[in-house]
């Protein structure tokens, strides 16, 4: 809060009179908006993420717990992971007056005329802003320059990796001179970075297939053998919440491979789902 207010003051922005565009629902992007937004402020959100923010149902977390447990996440660690999950601890108020933004909507601010572009993948309702005359792309967590956005699946629904790759293709041909992401540094070489991200996920998919070549495994077992760029020497040392993020990313890649017909699933004792390599896929 202190850093954000300081930055706004430096830019001579009175946040009490500002509108807010939230690229996606994750707490590190949306958590302070209920504190910052003044009465009558517009808070722009993508539809799918807005619906989750508006929901007060505790079933949202219970469904994630049930799904993770079914896919092999150990119970004791799972309770710790959900308990320390930043989305649960720092989500904004559910009583916000949200303005739903859709593909092609225009937002005019001073000399800027932004076009809203839906880019599902990192979240289902992720949305970006593009200013064609100034060649500026505000992309949230859709494209990051030196880390890869977390593409995660925490339910039976959807294929977020497929959506993410399609969303990368969707913005590839935009004439962009400056990319403003939600993390790390600003950058300019959007097309090159998109190619790198697509290659990264192809390498990831091959890694998952290689792990499954050892035999059937549940998602937690697969995630524990994947390569993670994180400052812990072993999987056992990962904090529970980080294990849950890694688990969700492993699941997203497995779902993509499953829909491609390259992996299958079967259920074993105590209702745990195991994935297997499909022969001749």
Task: Please give the full DSSP string across the chain, using - where no structure is assigned.
Answer: -HHHHHHHHHTT--GGG--EE-S---HHHHTTHHHHPPTT--EEEEHHHHHHHH---THHHHHHHHHHHHTT--HHHHHHHHHT-HHHHSPPPTT--EEEE-TT-EEEETTEEEEEEE--SSSTT-EEEEETTTTEEEEETSS-SSSPPP----SSS--HHHHHHHHHHHHHTS--SEEEESSS--BS-HHHHHHHHHHHHHHHHHHHHHHHTT--B-HHHHHHHS---SS-SSGGGS-HHHHHHHHHHHHHHHHHHHHTTSEEEEEEGGGEEEEEEPTT-
- pLDDT, residue 112, reads 96
Is 160 a residue whose pLDDT tops 70? Answer: yes
Strand partners, 46: 101
| Contact (CB, 8 A) for 111 and 139 | no
Predicted structure pTM score:
0.93
Lowest-pLDDT range of 30-34, 109-113, 190-194: 30-34
Q: Are strands 106-109 and 112-118 parallel, antiparallel or unpaired?
A: antiparallel
- pLDDT, residue 76, reads 84
The tokens of 182 are what? 């939600």
pLDDT in tens, 112-137: 999 999 999 999 999 999 999 999 99
Spatial distance between the Cα atoms of 4 and 114, rounded to a whole number of angstroms:
22
- pLDDT, residue 281, reads 53
* Average pLDDT rounded to a whole number, residues 190-212: 98
pLDDT in tens, 32-50: 998 888 888 999 999 999 9
Domains of the chain: 13-277 (3.60.15.10)
Spatial distance between the Cα atoms of 184 and 193, rounded to a whole number of angstroms:
14
* Average pLDDT rounded to a whole number, residues 246-252: 97
- pLDDT, residue 56, reads 56
The model's confidence at residue 199, banded by pLDDT at 50, 70 and 90, is very high
pLDDT in tens, 177-189: 999 999 999 999 9
């Amino acid at each position: 809060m202190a850093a954000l207010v300081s930055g706004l003051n430096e830019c001579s922005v009175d946040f009490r009179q500002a509108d807010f565009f939230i690229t996606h629902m994750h707490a590190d992007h949306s958590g302070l908006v209920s504190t910052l937004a003044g009465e009558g402020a517009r808070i722009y959100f993508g539809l799918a993420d807005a619906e989750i923010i508006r929901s007060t149902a505790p079933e949202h977390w219970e469904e994630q717990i049930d799904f993770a447990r079914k896919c092999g996440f150990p119970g004791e660690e799972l309770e710790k992971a959900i308990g320390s999950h930043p989305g649960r601890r720092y989500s904004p108020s559910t009583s916000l007056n949200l303005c739903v933004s859709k593909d092609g909507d225009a937002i005019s601010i001073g000399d800027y005329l932004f076009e809203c572009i839906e880019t599902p993948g990192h979240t289902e309702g992720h949305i970006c802003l593009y200013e064609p005359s100034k060649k500026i792309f505000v992309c949230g967590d859709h494209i990051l320059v030196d880390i890869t956005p977390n593409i995660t699946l925490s339910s039976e629904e959807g294929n977020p990796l497929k959506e993410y790759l399609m969303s990368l293709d969707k913005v590839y041909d935009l004439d962009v001179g400056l990319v403003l992401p939600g993390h790390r540094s600003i950058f300019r070489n959007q097309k090159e970075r998109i190619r790198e991200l697509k290659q990264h996920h192809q390498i990831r998919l091959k890694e998952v297939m290689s792990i499954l070549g050892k035999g059937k495994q549940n998602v937690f077992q697969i995630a524990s053998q994947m390569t993670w760029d994180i400052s812990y020497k072993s999987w056992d040392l990962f904090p529970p919440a980080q294990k849950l993020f890694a688990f969700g990313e492993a699941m997203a890649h497995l779902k993509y491979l499953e829909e491609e017909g390259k992996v299958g699933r079967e259920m074993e004792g105590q209702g745990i789902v195991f994935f297997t390599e499909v022969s001749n896929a």
